[in-house]
Amino acid sequence: MSTVKVAITMDEKLLKNLDQLVKNHLFENRSRAIQEAVSEKMARLEKSRLVRECAKLDRAFEQTMAEEGMTAGAEEWPEY
């Protein structure tokens, strides 16, 4: 995967904390720490979006559809 250089502005205290993590070898460098932080945040946002979308589903309707799907055509399933 190719990478692109970006510039960011950061609070000095936050930067000092970040540098301490790098110094303590929790991250290889600042860039890696920021990449991981952004990646984790994006994953959490995606997960919360999925949770919101799932909350819109009608549980009883979905259960009925799943049960119908399991019985429909079951006689055509191969023997194992």
Q: How many other CB atoms are there within 10 angstroms of residue 9's CB atom?
A: 5
Which pLDDT belongs to residue 74? Answer: 62
Which pLDDT belongs to residue 38? Answer: 95
Q: Kindly report each contact of residues 33-40 with a partner whose C-beta sits within 8 Å and lies 24 or more positions away, as own/partner.
A: 34/8
Which pLDDT belongs to residue 36? Answer: 96
Q: What is the mean pLDDT of each run of 10 residues along the chain (80 residues)?
A: 92 97 97 96 87 82 78 67
pTM of the model: 0.60
